[in-house]
Structure 1
Amino acid sequence: MNDVETRREPTPADIRRWRQYLADELAEAAVYRDLAARRAGEERAILLSLAEAEGRHEAHWRRLLGDQVGPKKNGALRTRMLGFLARRFGSVFVLALAQRAESRSPYNKDHDATGAMAADESIHEEVVRGLAARGRKRLSGSFRAAVFGVNDGLVSNLALVLGIGATGVPAATILFTGLAGLLAGALSMGAGEYVSVRSQRELLEASSPTPTEKSVLTRLDLEANELTLVYRARGMSPEKAELHAKQVLRTAEVATNPFEAADTRAVMPTVDEHEAIGTGIGAASSSFCFFASGALLPVLPYLFGMSGLPAIALATVLVGIALLATGAVVGLLSGGPPLRRALRQLAIGLAAAGVTYLLGLAFGTTLA
């Protein structure tokens, strides 16, 4: 039994705090059950186990409260919002938010919580981090291209529009310049992404063993045993390569696919699965569309007939909001603080656009 149960009578402040902890544990357990409802297999079992652990914490606060549990309270607002998202989406974004929520547990500093409860919360953060990492790996290369494509479109076209707008040219010129920048940039991004992904896949294919090579095993010179050279080339020491080659030649099951034996994989560099997923066409299409959608925002004021400083101000505000959103998304996906990443994205984007605006003022005419 924990010594917190034998201490002095709880104060009204203690009762209020314990009731809030109880409400939060109930809400967190519901989040994990909601996430589990949208999954199957091992991930579902892990999430349900987390919900059970929150249930043990709930029981601790009920024991301390005794007959002073009182009416049911709502959990913290962020936990309720997390539950709302879990019931409707259950995506890697929700897991990333749950990971951050677990990292903010107050139990380490609260003497009314047991040491085991504080340790549980730390472990829960790592468990949710692992589940979120699974989700991040399942994200395709096309999604990666989308996030960075829209960001590039926002920054590059805002810089172009502000730079040209600061020279004082007519609004129609700015509009057509912005649309040309949108199309040129989107085509360039799409083509570059296609070439990048195709080249990457071709490099991976070139490093993969050919399936026809297993047919030569029966014709190998057992004395020379050049199969050892294969494993030495893949990182094994000469002694281990020779031993493994002999095992391969003796074992029919392994010999059917010797170039993918477990020991060989163990010494080969690990391929970045997230980078390897996706097709050239998919990544190019995603990059094109999202760059174009980002690049469209800076020209929207001019499409609706605005000009001069009001158009520049509105374009900057629209792009600023979008930069905050993409920065927060990148922060969630990377497991970092969303607000900090959002502000960093905003600062970098507006700084780049500000440079071109100042150049436009320096070399242009008076602002229209």
Structure 2
Amino acid sequence: MIAPMEPSGPDWDALAPHWRPGHRSAEDDAAAERELAAMRATAERVAGGGIRAAVLGVNDGLVTNLCLILGVAGAAAEPGTVRLSGLASLVAGALSMAAGEWVSVRGQAEVARGMEQSLHEAWRLSPPVVLGHLTASLRERGLDRETAVRASRGVMTGRAASRAGTRILAGVSAEDAGSPVVAAVSSLLLFAVGALLPLLPWFFAAGDGAVLASVVITALASLVVGGALGRSAGRGAVRTAGRQLLIVALASLVTYGLGRLAGTSVM
């Protein structure tokens, strides 16, 4: 059921000139609720570090191992050498990505907690100074002075005052850093998956056939990753997929060319 419009409600002509109260419908309300729910779900995944780690992991796995495989294969190495090099790269890369993500996210959270502690100490020393900075920051975001003053006082009287205040003043909080475990596990697993794809043909073939199969599999996977990323970000899937494929192609050509020129295993 559509909630009735209050007589003293907002001035919609000024607030949302593209929308007319008389055109409000249950279908539009439901669609708006779905959009907000999808936004919150995406925000939770982003805050948890999963999306960033997943995209980085699978993309780095694809590019890193394809480049290594092409570099080694370009040096006319034996198929067994290519397989061993690819497996070593998969394991080392996955562990390295996981460790890097864990350290990065954990460090970001610790830095944010330090800022929250600084805000808490500043509030203990001089509440008016803190309120002044909060008010100024909120006014920079478009609030009028009276609203910004009331909002600043409300922020600092809440249970999570330091967290909310730090988010307003610095744009971050410890919660925004996400989970280091989620980031590490996502990165490890998806790097391994990405690195395995270009390596698979070398367990069943060798030579130019295996090289071609690695390139085709990686190209298709890159298109899928780029397209999915583009759709989730609200951009054109085709454009993002094409950009992803171009990056992989350039990196692969450079590495394969270096391997051919060197004539030896270069990774």
Same fold (TM over 0.5): yes
Q: Please tell me whether the aligned partners of residues 156 and 295 of structure 1 are also in contact (alpha carbons under 8 angstroms).
A: yes
Aligned to 1:41: none
Aligned to 1:315: 214
Aligned to 2:237: 338
Q: Please tell me whether the aligned partners of residues 236 and 267 of structure 1 are also in contact (alpha carbons under 8 angstroms).
A: no
Secondary structure class of the residue paired with 2:172: coil
Task: Give unmatched runs, 5+ long, in structure 2.
Answer: 1-23, 138-144
Which among 126, 132, 150 is matched to residue 226 of structure 1? Answer: 126
1:261 and 1:288 map into 2 onto residues whose CA distance is 30
The answer to whether structure 1 residue 191 and structure 2 residue 99 are counterparts is yes
Task: Read off the aligned partner of 1:169 and give its amino acid letter.
Answer: A
Aligned to 1:138: 44
Which among 290, 313, 328 is matched to residue 227 of structure 2? Answer: 328
Mark the CA change 1:47 to 1:158 in structure 2 (over 3 Å): closer, same or farther: farther
Deviation at 1:144, TM superposition (A): 2.2
Q: Percent identity?
A: 36
Deviation at 1:362, TM superposition (A): 1.4
Q: Please tell me whether the aligned partners of residues 235 and 268 of structure 1 are also in contact (alpha carbons under 8 angstroms).
A: no
Aligned to 1:208: 116
Mark the CA change 1:269 to 1:261 in structure 2 (over 3 Å): closer, same or farther: closer
Aligned to 1:85: none
Aligned to 2:192: 292
Deviation at 1:347, TM superposition (A): 1.3
Q: Please tell me whether the aligned partners of residues 150 and 295 of structure 1 are also in contact (alpha carbons under 8 angstroms).
A: yes
Task: Read off the aligned partner of 2:200 and give its amino acid letter.
Answer: L
Q: Please tell me whether the aligned partners of residues 69 and 82 of structure 2 are also in contact (alpha carbons under 8 angstroms).
A: yes
Task: Read off the aligned partner of 2:185 and give its amino acid letter.
Answer: S
Secondary structure class of the residue paired with 2:76: coil
Matches within 5 A, 1:103-182: 130-139=36-45, 140-182=48-90
Deviation at 1:226, TM superposition (A): 3.1
Aligned to 1:352: 251
Aligned to 1:15: none
1:346 and 1:198 map into 2 onto residues whose CA distance is 32
Task: Read off the aligned partner of 1:300 and give its amino acid letter.
Answer: L
Deviation at 1:147, TM superposition (A): 1.9
Q: Please tell me whether the aligned partners of residues 61 and 195 of structure 2 are also in contact (alpha carbons under 8 angstroms).
A: yes
Deviation at 1:303, TM superposition (A): 1.9
Secondary structure class of the residue paired with 1:336: coil
RMSD: 3.9
Deviation at 1:259, TM superposition (A): 4.5
Task: Read off the aligned partner of 1:189 and give its amino acid letter.
Answer: M
Mark the CA change 1:180 to 1:201 in structure 2 (over 3 Å): closer, same or farther: same
Mark the CA change 1:211 to 1:352 in structure 2 (over 3 Å): closer, same or farther: closer
Q: Please tell me whether the aligned partners of residues 113 and 173 of structure 2 are also in contact (alpha carbons under 8 angstroms).
A: no
Aligned positions, number: 228
Task: Read off the aligned partner of 2:225 and give its amino acid letter.
Answer: T
1:347 and 1:50 map into 2 onto residues whose CA distance is 40
Which among 182, 203, 210 is matched to residue 303 of structure 1? Answer: 203
Aligned to 1:282: 182
1:289 and 1:339 map into 2 onto residues whose CA distance is 26
2:246 and 2:28 map into 1 onto residues whose CA distance is 38
Task: Give unmatched runs, 5+ long, in structure 1.
Answer: 1-45, 53-123, 218-224
Mark the CA change 1:48 to 1:165 in structure 2 (over 3 Å): closer, same or farther: farther
Mark the CA change 1:153 to 1:48 in structure 2 (over 3 Å): closer, same or farther: farther
Q: Please tell me whether the aligned partners of residues 209 and 259 of structure 1 are also in contact (alpha carbons under 8 angstroms).
A: no
Instruction: Give the structure with higher Rg (CA).
Output: 1
Q: Please tell me whether the aligned partners of residues 167 and 173 of structure 2 are also in contact (alpha carbons under 8 angstroms).
A: no
Task: Read off the aligned partner of 2:116 and give its amino acid letter.
Answer: S
Mark the CA change 1:194 to 1:47 in structure 2 (over 3 Å): closer, same or farther: farther
Higher relative contact order (CA 8 A, sep 6+): 2
Structure-1-length-normalised TM-score: 0.53
Mark the CA change 1:229 to 1:172 in structure 2 (over 3 Å): closer, same or farther: same
